[in-house]
Structure 1
C-alpha cells in the first residue's frame, strides 16, 4: 500500500505541475505540509519527491526545498528508436506531420557519405515538419535507400514511414547510430519551423540499420532549442 501511496502522490503533484498549478521556479509545500495534506508519513512524501526529481520535474535544494523546473519541453529518447507517430501518441498532445518535399534523387556527396550509397543508386528524399500543439518544432530531413524502400507516398509520409516499412514491407528496423550537436539556424529552418526567435537548433543525425545490418536510412532531425529535453537511461556496469 505504501508504494501505491507514494506513486499516487507523485502522479497528483505531477498533474498539478503540468496543469500549471505549480509554475517553474515555484517552491512546493514542505515535506511536513505535504505529509499533512496527503495524511501520510514524511518518508512516503520523500519517495514521491525523489521520483519527481529523478524525472526532471523538480530540483531539491538544501535549505530551500523542492523547486519546480520548466517542463514545457517534450521528452525525446536519445537511445531509443521511436517514430514521431509513436512519440506523439505517448505524449497525448495534438500533433501532425507536414510533408514539404517528397522526391527520388541521385545522392550528392553529402548523402553518399552518410548513407553509403554509390552514385548510380536512387534515394528517397523526404522533408517534413513536425507540429506539436500548433507549433512546428522539428524539421526532419530523411533519406531512404530506394533499394530497401522502393515506394513512398505523401500519405505514408504524413502518417508513419516506420509503420509502413515494418507492416507493409515486412522489414525489421534494428538499431541506429546517433550524433547530436547544436547548429546555427539555416534558411530552411526559418522556412519550415516556428523558431520563436531562436538562432540555434539541436541537430540529431540518425544512421538507421535493418536486422541484417544494412544501412537503409539517414536522417537529420533539427529541433527547436526550447522544446525538447533529450533523455536517456544509463547503468554503470561493474
Structure 2
C-alpha cells in the first residue's frame, strides 16, 4: 500500500471516530506533511481520495472542510465491514454466529463466479441484531484456497479484521449488486420481519490486491431499518474538441 493511501486511511479513521468533526477544517497541507513526514504532493493525493470518497470538501482560501458522514449508513461504494460501520455509527448491535463450516460452494454461485463446482469454501452465516431485533442476515463464502482456516471467534468478530490483520492479505475491490427480493423461508426463520414480504439484498464478489477472488457475500436486510446511500460528485463534461483518436 502506498504512503498516501495509508494517510488516507488514517485521516478517514479520524473522521469516522470524530477526531475531526463535521464542519471543521482539516489541518493544512503543510501541517499534515510535517505530521506524516511526507511531501505536500503526497498529502494532496491523500486529500483527493478523501474528496472522492465524500469525506471532505475543498474550499478555496479555507482548506478541507469535513463533511457530515452520518448519512452514510450503508454506502454503496467502498468496502466497509459491518464491524467498522457498527463502531463508526455507534449501532447497538449483536452478532450471532449461526454457521461456520467448510463445504462445497453452492452450484449456482460457482456458476456465477465461473469456478469449479468442487470449490471448497468456509460457509459463514451471521445474524445481526439491532436493538434486540434480527434485521440483517449475512451469508459469506470464503475460498479455502485463500483462507485456509477461519476460527469461530474470528468469524463472529470481523472477517476483514482477521483477513487483513491476522493473515496479512490486502482486500482491494468488489463488484456489487443491490436488489429487492421476496423474503425466503430462511429469512423468516432467522430475521425479525414483522410480516414483511421482501428484503433488500446486496451481493458482492470481493477480490484481493492481486485480483484474486476470495469471497462471495450475500447480505439480506429488513426493508425499514437501513438506508443505502452513495456520495456523488459532479465531474465537468469532457471537452470533445480537445480529444482525438490516434
Q: Is residue 2:148 matched to residue 1:153?
A: no
State the secondary structure of the residue aligned to 1:179.
strand
TM-superposed deviation, 1:116: 3.4
What are the ranges of 5 or more consecutive residues in structure 2 without an aligned counterpart?
1-21, 25-66, 237-246
In 2, are the aligned partners of 1:100 and 1:128 still within 8 Å (CA)? yes
What are the ranges of 5 or more consecutive residues in structure 1 without an aligned counterpart?
1-5, 9-50, 57-73
Relative to structure 1, the CA distance from residue 7 to residue 210 in structure 2 (aligned partners, 3 Å threshold; closer, same or farther) is closer
State the secondary structure of the residue aligned to 1:82.
coil
In 2, are the aligned partners of 1:96 and 1:130 still within 8 Å (CA)? yes
Return the match for 1:76 from 69, 74, 81. Answer: 74
- State how far apart, in whole Å, the 2-side matches of 1:172 and 1:194 are: 35
TM-score, normalization: structure 1?
A: 0.68
* Higher radius of gyration, 1 or 2: 1
Aligned equivalent of 1:64: none
Which contiguous aligned blocks of 4+ residues in structure 1 show a shift greater than 4 angstroms?
Answer: none
What is the total number of aligned residue pairs between the two structures? Answer: 173
TM-score, normalization: structure 2?
A: 0.66
In 2, are the aligned partners of 1:137 and 1:193 still within 8 Å (CA)? yes
In 2, are the aligned partners of 1:203 and 1:220 still within 8 Å (CA)? yes
Aligned equivalent of 1:163: 161
Aligned equivalent of 1:103: 101
Aligned equivalent of 2:135: 137
Return the match for 2:188 from 187, 190, 198. Answer: 190
- State how far apart, in whole Å, the 1-side matches of 2:112 and 2:214 are: 10
State the secondary structure of the residue aligned to 1:228.
coil
Relative to structure 1, the CA distance from residue 55 to residue 134 in structure 2 (aligned partners, 3 Å threshold; closer, same or farther) is closer
In 2, are the aligned partners of 1:116 and 1:215 still within 8 Å (CA)? no
Aligned equivalent of 1:216: 214
- State how far apart, in whole Å, the 2-side matches of 1:114 and 1:140 are: 19
- State how far apart, in whole Å, the 2-side matches of 1:86 and 1:136 are: 18
Deviations 1:157-206 (A, max 9, x none): 11001000001110000011100110001000011111122111000011
- State how far apart, in whole Å, the 2-side matches of 1:173 and 1:104 are: 21
- State how far apart, in whole Å, the 2-side matches of 1:121 and 1:221 are: 21
Query: CA RMSD of the aligned region, Å?
Result: 2.2
Aligned equivalent of 2:228: 230
